[in-house]
Structure 1
Amino acid sequence: MKRLPLITPHPPRLSTLTEALARIEDSAIYSNNGPVLRAFEADATRRLFGGQGACLAVANATLGLMISLRDAVSDGPAGRFALMPAMTFAATAQAAWWAGLTPLVCDVDASDWSAAPEEEERLLERHGAQIAAIVPYATFGYGIDLDRYRWLSKRFGVAVVVDAAASLGTTDASGVGFGAGAPFPIVFSMHATKPFATQEGGLIHCADVDRIERLRAMANFGFTAPRTATLPGLNAKMPEAMALVAQARLDEFARVSRHRDQLAEAYRDAIAGRYVMQPHRAGRQALGFFPLLLPSERTHERDAIIARLDEQGIGAGKYFSPHLGEQPWVRGIAQIEPTPVADMVGSRLLSLPLSDSMTVEDVARVVDTLDRVVAVEPRSAYRAMPPVAKTMIIGGGPAGTALLTAASRHGLLPDLARGLVLVERDGAIGGGQLGRYAITSDSTAQTFLSAIEGNPDPAIAALADHPAALAVARHRASLGVPLAEVGPLLRAIGDRLHASITAHGGTVMTGMESLSARRKDGRWHVRLRDTATHRDTEHVAENLVIATGGHQPLDRLVTQQVAGTSLIELAGDRLLQSDSVLARGGFEMVADLLSGKRAPRVAVIGGSTSALTTVALLLRERPALPFGAGGITLLHRRPLRPFYHSVEAAHAEGFIDFGPEDICPISGFVYRLAGFRLEARELVLRMLGVDGRAPEPRLALHRVTGDHDEAARDILKNADLVIAALGYRPRALLLEDAEGRPLALAAHAGAPMVDNACRVTDASGAPVPGLFGIGLAAGFVPHGKLGGEASFVGQANGLWLWQNDVGMMIVDQLLAGRARVAA
């Protein structure tokens, strides 16, 4: 059987170039921008880039990136960051670091896997002049929008250097090479594994001929005159012999590119509807291999799939996994933003062979073998989905999957899965947005691990030895777990839940956005949109569970009053929401905003966990902000209460500020629901001076007494920064009656979304038939056998509750409803 390696280098053979090599030897010119190299550069400019601008051949693409970045920031703003996407090779970050910049790694777009535009623009707005350069990566040779980067460069005054390592051979619809006429450097690789294969080498193209000549000097020790360095430089020159190989590749490249494009088209035709791939743009995409995403329920089997393909003579890989933000060295020197999409894409990527020596028949064999190994069903049709689902869960984040975890822990997931449809906007379930936060959890490591330990589903129980579980387990003795480490574990659990659901007759619809749900004929008619194709479809379900999470709406700030005065009026443009501060990079944003203040003053509004966590973040992060005594003021209405496991534990520390109504009758916990836990609890204990603890001198507490609290108004007026931690509200899903009129819900008036049975209630407080809610901002209050103190006012959220009693409350109702129908 013909073996098909993942990478099969096909550079021109030196043994066929002996006459030309002899001419180089006769000339005695081996390097230093000799005639062979110059001829190749001119020919490449003409053939590949329509004669626009100029090209510079260098020893390799990494050196090309290094000198291009160093040149780009030489006369520009004194920024320290190089903004780049997570889905790129380590060389991108290495080159930026060698050029004196700190990589700032952002998330990618779920469709084409290049940098997410909204993330780039958010970071440019946040960091401003601190970003010296953007380094977009044309992922797997994909033709990214360079006009947009022209606009970003002008809009933000930032340099641009494009890492197009894999893109030599990518063209537009007219056949002109990617990057032709770009005003900034486009850096290509000519490594042996690339479509434009030499042995080693790089090519820089730019419309600015003067810049190319400046880069040429930098590649030659910075010499602009004989042996006179006037620029920063190094030795990046391409020797004449390698330029000869590059010229030979150029001579055959049109034929090679047509053949490889035929193979790529064969792949696209063969896998259509069964695997996710990059969208196909007009023109040609240079591909060194063919990348696709495995179904999310097969993510945890990727290594085994690669091994089984290898047994069938087919090489496969997983570029880029780990992605840039997961590389250990990069994590030590870079600032890495939340990358949930890159995490998902990286975990599912599979690279298949595509080489000069392959045939279309070889492609058919590869895909047929992959189908048999993966046993995949067509994605686009979701054929397993019943005409009427028993239950549809909208949202596959931590709350939606916690409901499934609760069922799995009681051995009920197979029953629940029959007729179940789970809808999730992202490409995989489980992780949600937790990984985007720079804080520790308010749940213990054991809470997260309890979903695994002793689970009747052997696939979920086996996660105990998963690297993500071991990373969380290291924090068993800590005050919470860094949320950046929680995300991978929840995604791993999500993958196993996905597999279990589909194995028992359910359907998981990833990449689908829920638009609306109409109650008609005793059922829910739900309109969904495919985020890749933007095609809308309608699906029917008997029951609907909303697990779409919560957010901090801006309109709340407009109506919010503090001490009888509008918050907007008091704080003006100094106002932030806690969610943006707690996100990764939020502390740096605050530091930038306060950078001109010798003794900054910050006011945090709210008495919630997010408020205390915001204060803790500002106090502990490094480099420390120069807060003086009382530099941070926490404004709250209700007393701040610490949680205790028992009355005895509270008394042992001398804490007696509670009564019988503050003790949970089920567990005996003091302030079980109202009390702060873990890191927030420690801060409250200090500020209350419990058991002789010394208060944190940089923090002051101010309890707002009412509409006439002039001191509260003064604190807000005089603060350099005001952070609102006012809680979360449910993410909206448009709910309609049979005539298409919006359903009026209790949540619209600021009341909890659900009642004490997790049923969503209408404006009159009556439960809406067949509609449940779970998760952040649902407003659930534990009661009865769930425990909780009688004095508690507010809502209770937490992964432990969702994975246990709260989740089971919904599961029991859903399965009981089925039993009634069957009877």
Structure 2
Amino acid sequence: MKRLPLIAPNPPRLSEHLDALRRVEASGVFSNNGPEVRAFEAGVTQALFGGHGACLAVGNATLGLMLAIRHASGMRTGGLNPKQGTLALMPALTFAATAQAAAWAGLTPLICDIDPDDWAACALEEERLLARHGERVGVVVPYATFGNAIDLERYVYFQQRYGVGVVVDAASSLGTLDDAGLGFGACAPFAVVHSMHATKTFAVGEGGLIHSGDVDLIATLRSMGNFGFEGSRNATLPGINAKLPEITAIIAQAKLAEIDSVADHRAALEQAYRAALPGFQFQSVSGQRRAMQFMPVLLPERLAHHRDSIVESIEASGVGCGRYFSPHLGEQPWFQATAMIEPTPVADKIAGRMLSLPITDAMSVDDARRAAAALADACAAILRPLDRRASVRGPGAAVASVIVIGGGPAGTAMLTAATKRGLLPDFAASGLMVIERSGAIGGGRLGRYAITSDSTAQTFLTAVRDNTHPELARLVDHPAGRAVAAHIDALGVPLTEVGPLLRATGDRLTDIVRANGGVVLTGHEALGVRRVGEGVWSVQLRRLSDGHVFDQLARNIVVATGGHQPLDRLATQRVAGGQLADLASGRLIQSDDVLTVGGFEKVADILTGKRNPRIAVIGGSTSALTTIALLLKRQPGLPLGAGAITLLHRRPLRPFYHSVEAAHAEGFTDFGPDDICPVSGFVYRLAGFRLEARDLVLRMLRVDGRAPDPRVALHRIAGDDDAAARTIIEEADLVIAALGYRPIAAPIADRDGLPIPLAAQGGKPMVDRHCRIVDGDGAPIAGLYGLGLAAGFVPWGPLGGEPSFSGQANGLWLWQNDVGLMIVDQVMASQVMAAA
């Protein structure tokens, strides 16, 4: 039985076109956009693209992407020179050339997740990242996945709405027809780059084609592909040599003559595969016909980890089999070191299940059925023993040493703390398991906030700089690390730029944990925790992909699930003697809604039509001051007049100072001995506002002659009979409650299944001074720890802090150092005791 190779290059035979070769030799023109290249460009424009726009033939598709990306990324600056740090947004499921071309054009790839149906870039993710990163995104580079005719109207909208450049990587699409029956991208106002590599349906050998409905764009790209020469031998544009040789153009013309029959035949093979494999998942397809390079198909999810065995079985039957594109961009070492990678749970899952089966010009429909049968038989051979096997609880039937519930900034900060003392390998080997709902650990929700951090750039970088693990230390030079470093000595860092660094850190921590025997379960959530024995807890977990629920035993649990602003708090909150919900009826939102990406736009919508809006912000926390700072500085701004924003607060507003001398130098003396940290000498180390919030407070308090912002007024609430405070709230057009955060905690039950009352449920701190979760009576619960936003931890002893401080301390630096190590040390000590 003949072997069916995965890919069988079938370019036209050059030996059958001797007349054309002699024609080239007689002309004396072998390159430089000669007559054969021009004839091919004109012919393909007419035959495949209905005469719309123009085409430019180039040496290969990667050169075409480099030209087009460099040109499109200059749209932001009105020229052809993108700013340093400009991003190229692209999906994870594409070939390496997409990201490599962006890097060679001087951009940093920004890799996003994909759609679960058509496997192209996820539209919601693209728009979220365009909104988050703004003008930093110079170009969007969608991939027409496996020759699919993706929706280009979306990218026309992006170009118009965000002013961003667009280049479509259509490497496998030359021969694909859209819904109108035209070649894919025929009328696109941007560049659509096709490949003519020997392995493609439009097989030439080596070559590429850029098409656009914009004739002037193609003319500019032609000059860029000729060293940047425009009508003379003076470089007026950035340029490279991207020209297609005349001899290759002869082969391209021959291929053009047969492409319809080739593509139609391959489309018939695709349909044969789909009919023969009804139980398998295929890509959702758009357009009238696509130029198939091979047949992508997904394994059943339960068989994904048997993929290597399945491939071996298929290959042994004489059928070629591949794994395009696995690993995807976000899983490849070079891009992990140089790109900014968003969580990609869908791409991770799709790439992990992906197989590629043969589609070649020489195959018959029966050959496609044979290849499909080889796949089905290989899967069936594995499924039969699996079905006979008894089910197990889940990924870890053994008792884990510690389960960390939540892989956001707090949970991963504890892991980072362990790396600083070289403890993470041993901590992981002892039986560490991290549970995270999203597709990756590290970032959590932090990158979704459209505000500046209350930590310095140096604080974020200390987590990785000079780390004992080289892969972490190298993040200082990673694009995400450099983006944070650009804000050194500034008033904080935009959290949208912090998020990528935390996610990159999380990726490296994941690798370290797994390499040392630990487990990182992404895409899972903890439903509850129950005591099942002396020193043993059971965590009920749910796999989000299919709802499968299982139990995992552990001796210790760390709850690092973060905090939230519960709506039910607003229903009971009293301010100045009245119910807040009644005083601000229909005009009340929470600060978290304002601070996240898109929150300012929500406020602007609410205040539409208000010529002189009045806003009341309630609370004396950092979130209250940050909310005001956001409302003041966003552009285009709100029409805020004098006293438009009133901050209603109960406690005095205190600025942080590095020393008593620094405070006195500015004439600030509103503090006493109990307000000074005995360890660091800082004034209001824990209670004081920092960075941007501090700057606003200093102005409002007129410290050292600073002028207050006339748009902001302060009102300190004077008890329950403060009629003025009630009036401010009642007359405001919008009331923003910045009342702090409460911990998000999984239900915790005792052996009998009854809930264990927790201190946090009564509004008290969730943890004690050793980060142990405490019950309703304030007693620590053995084996349970808490860390992160709203946990309620207060530094003490060598950790420092002013004696007068009565709140809770939330800080990434603390979590990544002493507080994180406090938990690590206790867990590892308990393991030693258990082993003894």
Q: TM-score range by the shorter chain?
A: 0.5 to 0.7
For 2:781 and 2:568, the matched residues in 1 are separated by 26
| Aligned equivalent of 1:506, options 515, 518, 523 | 518
| Secondary structure in 1 matching 2:584 | helix
- Kindly indicate whether residue 782 of structure 2 is the aligned counterpart of residue 782 of structure 1: no
For 1:461 and 1:162, the matched residues in 2 are separated by 34
For 2:564 and 2:688, the matched residues in 1 are separated by 23
- Specify the alignment match of 2:768 in structure 1: 755
After superposition, residues 676-715 of structure 1 pair within 5 angstroms as 676-715=689-728
After superposition, residues 157-172 of structure 1 pair within 5 angstroms as none
- Specify the alignment match of 2:261 in structure 1: 251
* Letter of the 2:343 counterpart: V
- Kindly indicate whether residue 684 of structure 2 is the aligned counterpart of residue 671 of structure 1: yes
- Specify the alignment match of 1:769 in structure 2: 782
For 2:175 and 2:398, the matched residues in 1 are separated by 44
- Kindly indicate whether residue 94 of structure 2 is the aligned counterpart of residue 87 of structure 1: no
After superposition, residues 293-442 of structure 1 pair within 5 angstroms as 293=327, 299=331, 302-303=333-334, 340-341=342-343, 385=396, 387-418=398-429, 419-442=431-454
- Kindly indicate whether residue 326 of structure 2 is the aligned counterpart of residue 292 of structure 1: yes
Kept in 1, the 8 Å contact 2:588–2:734? The answer is: yes
- Specify the alignment match of 2:755 in structure 1: 742
| Secondary structure in 1 matching 2:325 | strand
* Letter of the 2:326 counterpart: L
- Specify the alignment match of 1:279 in structure 2: none
Cα displacement (A) at 1:579: 1.9
For 1:138 and 1:290, the matched residues in 2 are separated by 14
For 1:145 and 1:749, the matched residues in 2 are separated by 53
For 2:393 and 2:211, the matched residues in 1 are separated by 45
| Secondary structure in 2 matching 1:541 | strand
- Kindly indicate whether residue 297 of structure 2 is the aligned counterpart of residue 272 of structure 1: no
For 1:273 and 1:191, the matched residues in 2 are separated by 32
- Kindly indicate whether residue 680 of structure 2 is the aligned counterpart of residue 654 of structure 1: no
- Kindly indicate whether residue 542 of structure 2 is the aligned counterpart of residue 542 of structure 1: no
- Specify the alignment match of 1:471 in structure 2: 483
After TM superposition, the structure 1 stretch with the greater mean CA deviation from structure 2, 757-766 or 676-685, is: 757-766
* Letter of the 2:624 counterpart: A
For 2:122 and 2:48, the matched residues in 1 are separated by 35
For 1:561 and 1:170, the matched residues in 2 are separated by 67
Cα displacement (A) at 1:764: 2.3
For 2:508 and 2:125, the matched residues in 1 are separated by 29
For 1:461 and 1:189, the matched residues in 2 are separated by 37
* Letter of the 2:637 counterpart: A
- Cα distance change on mapping 1:120 and 1:110 into 2, 3 Å: closer
- Specify the alignment match of 1:491 in structure 2: 503
- Specify the alignment match of 1:571 in structure 2: 584
Cα displacement (A) at 1:121: 11
Runs of 5+ in structure 2 lacking a partner? 21-37, 65-87, 99-109, 133-139, 155-165, 218-250, 271-291, 309-320, 364-370, 372-390
Cα displacement (A) at 1:675: 0.6
| Secondary structure in 1 matching 2:667 | coil
- Specify the alignment match of 2:830 in structure 1: 817
For 1:821 and 1:611, the matched residues in 2 are separated by 46
* Letter of the 2:196 counterpart: A
- Cα distance change on mapping 1:382 and 1:643 into 2, 3 Å: farther
* Letter of the 2:833 counterpart: R
For 1:693 and 1:554, the matched residues in 2 are separated by 38
Cα displacement (A) at 1:14: 9.4
- Cα distance change on mapping 1:442 and 1:357 into 2, 3 Å: same
Deviation string 1:352-392 (CA, Å, 9 cap, x unpaired) is 999866999xx9xxxxxxxxxxxxxxxx9999956111111
Cα displacement (A) at 1:271: 8.9
The alignment of Structure 1 onto Structure 2 pairs a total of residues equal to: 666
Kept in 1, the 8 Å contact 2:44–2:256? The answer is: no
| Aligned equivalent of 1:642, options 655, 673, 679 | 655
Runs of 5+ in structure 1 lacking a partner? 21-29, 43-54, 63-83, 93-104, 127-134, 150-160, 172-176, 205-214, 220-240, 277-286, 304-317, 327-338, 364-379
- Specify the alignment match of 2:223 in structure 1: none
Cα displacement (A) at 1:537: 2.6
- Cα distance change on mapping 1:262 and 1:242 into 2, 3 Å: closer
| Aligned equivalent of 2:456, options 431, 444, 460 | 444
Deviation string 1:56-99 (CA, Å, 9 cap, x unpaired) is 9986999xxxxxxxxxxxxxxxxxxxxx9963999x9xxxxxxx
Cα displacement (A) at 1:142: 9.7
- Cα distance change on mapping 1:384 and 1:656 into 2, 3 Å: same
After TM superposition, the structure 1 stretch with the greater mean CA deviation from structure 2, 782-791 or 605-614, is: 782-791
- Cα distance change on mapping 1:700 and 1:526 into 2, 3 Å: same
Kept in 2, the 8 Å contact 1:518–1:525? The answer is: yes
* TM-score, length-scaled by structure 2: 0.66
For 1:455 and 1:481, the matched residues in 2 are separated by 21
- Specify the alignment match of 1:100 in structure 2: none
- Cα distance change on mapping 1:725 and 1:359 into 2, 3 Å: farther
Cα displacement (A) at 1:628: 1.4
For 2:658 and 2:214, the matched residues in 1 are separated by 69
* Letter of the 2:416 counterpart: T
| Secondary structure in 2 matching 1:572 | coil
* Letter of the 2:296 counterpart: A
- Specify the alignment match of 2:380 in structure 1: none
Kept in 1, the 8 Å contact 2:54–2:215? The answer is: no
* Letter of the 1:291 counterpart: F
For 1:58 and 1:382, the matched residues in 2 are separated by 60
Kept in 1, the 8 Å contact 2:175–2:260? The answer is: no
* TM-score, length-scaled by structure 1: 0.66
Deviation string 1:501-521 (CA, Å, 9 cap, x unpaired) is 223222222222222222212
- Kindly indicate whether residue 730 of structure 2 is the aligned counterpart of residue 717 of structure 1: yes
